[in-house]
């Protein structure tokens, strides 16, 4: 029912958003530089309570978990919600960002990640939710030098009103990279398709049509990082959807000076950890 309502809203063009708004953003909350990696996992659902499994498979044995964050979302209301992860209650939280009816939530689960495994998770108290996502940043001397950027927040994208939204990553070195994009409430069931994901102006992914199932998508895309400031963008075509995560792993660092606030640790190979987390 929630997806039907959302599709009708998009079709009638009743959303208030017209273009990219400064009211809420998907922006860099954390950076990690050095011998680092990242993995993003997600599962879909349509309604609450919402339960599923988040699987990690790329962590080196014995890797140090730098940061792990669980993300939830909700449309049309911003209640206090609760979650569990790996059998541990995480407690109730209010949204850390909201944009025109699209609210996002987060929980720190760093201490609950034990390596590659399938982690059960659930989300309760929301009214119109489309699943959970997990971002895990880690370090290990076996990994090449690079930088991980975690951009999070809330964008309610209305393609019917010409919506085009972007987020930037500043301070990476030029080279190859991987971009993860997570969205919610993709309206492909209503014939709304043709969305594009762009990186530095070039299309790297399309369409955004609930590739996870139940109206949510997760993309893992190879990209070319120019360095300096790189931009990821969503052109929504006729769709209306929520965007909460853009994660970039850029590497190698090619000797670029770490971002402000980055802590360099020497020993057993270069390891750099930078955290500039926003939104308590």
3-state secondary structure of 6: helix
Domain assignment present for residue 142? The answer is: yes
d(CA 280, CA 35): 27
Q: Among residues 201, 96, 210, which one has the least CA distance to residue 153?
A: 96
H/E segment holding residue 3:
helix 2-12
φ/ψ of residue 207, rounded to 5:
-90, 180
Domain assignment present for residue 280? The answer is: no
* Beta-carbon contacts of residue 270 (< 8 Å; ≥ 6 apart): 34, 35, 145, 264
φ/ψ of residue 194, rounded to 5:
90, 10
Q: How high is the pLDDT of residue 193? A: 82
Q: How many Cα atoms within 13 Å fall on the side-chain side of residue 192?
A: 30
Domain assignment present for residue 113? The answer is: yes
Q: How many Cα atoms within 13 Å fall on the side-chain side of residue 178?
A: 12
Query: CA quadruple 184, 189, 191, 196: dihedral positive or negative?
Result: positive
Largest CA distance in the chain: 59
Q: How high is the pLDDT of residue 161? A: 56
Q: Give every residue of the chain whose pLDDT is below 70, as ranges.
A: 1-24, 159-163, 188-191, 252-280
Q: How high is the pLDDT of residue 23? A: 44
d(CA 68, CA 111): 8
What is this structure's pTM?
0.84
Structural domain including 110 reads: 21-256
Q: How high is the pLDDT of residue 46? A: 83
Domain assignment present for residue 266? The answer is: no
User: What is the token pair recorded at 176?
Assistant: 């190859």
Q: How many domains does the chain have?
A: 1
Q: How high is the pLDDT of residue 87? A: 97
Domain assignment present for residue 206? The answer is: yes
């Amino acid at each position: 029912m929630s997806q039907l309502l959302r599709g009708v809203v998009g079709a009638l063009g009743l959303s208030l958003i017209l273009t990219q708004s400064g009211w809420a953003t998907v922006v860099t909350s954390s950076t990690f530089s050095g011998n680092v990696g990242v993995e993003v996992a997600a599962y879909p659902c349509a309604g609450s309570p919402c339960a599923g499994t988040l699987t990690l498979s790329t962590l080196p044995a014995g890797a140090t978990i730098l940061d792990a964050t669980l993300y939830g979302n909700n449309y049309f209301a911003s209640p206090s919600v609760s979650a569990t992860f790996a059998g541990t209650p995480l407690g109730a939280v209010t949204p850390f960002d909201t944009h025109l009816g699209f609210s996002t939530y987060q929980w720190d689960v760093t201490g609950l990640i034990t390596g590659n495994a399938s982690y059960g998770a659930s989300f309760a108290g929301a009214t119109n939710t489309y699943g959970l996502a997990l971002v895990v940043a880690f370090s290990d001397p076996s990994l090449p030098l690079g930088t991980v950027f975690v951009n999070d927040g809330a964008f309610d994208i209305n393609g019917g009103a010409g919506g085009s939204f972007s987020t930037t990553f500043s301070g990476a070195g030029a080279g190859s990279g991987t971009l993860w994009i997570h969205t919610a409430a993709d309206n492909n069931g209503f014939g709304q398709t043709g969305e594009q994901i762009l990186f530095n102006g070039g299309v790297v992914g399309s369409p955004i049509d609930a590739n996870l199932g139940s109206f949510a998508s997760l993309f893992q895309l190879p990209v070319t990082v120019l360095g300096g400031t790189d931009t990821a963008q969503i052109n929504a075509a006729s769709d209306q959807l929520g965007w909460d995560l853009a994660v970039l792993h850029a590497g190698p660092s090619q000797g670029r000076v770490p971002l402000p606030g980055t802590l360099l640790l020497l020993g057993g190979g270069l390891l750099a950890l930078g955290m500039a987390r926003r939104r308590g």
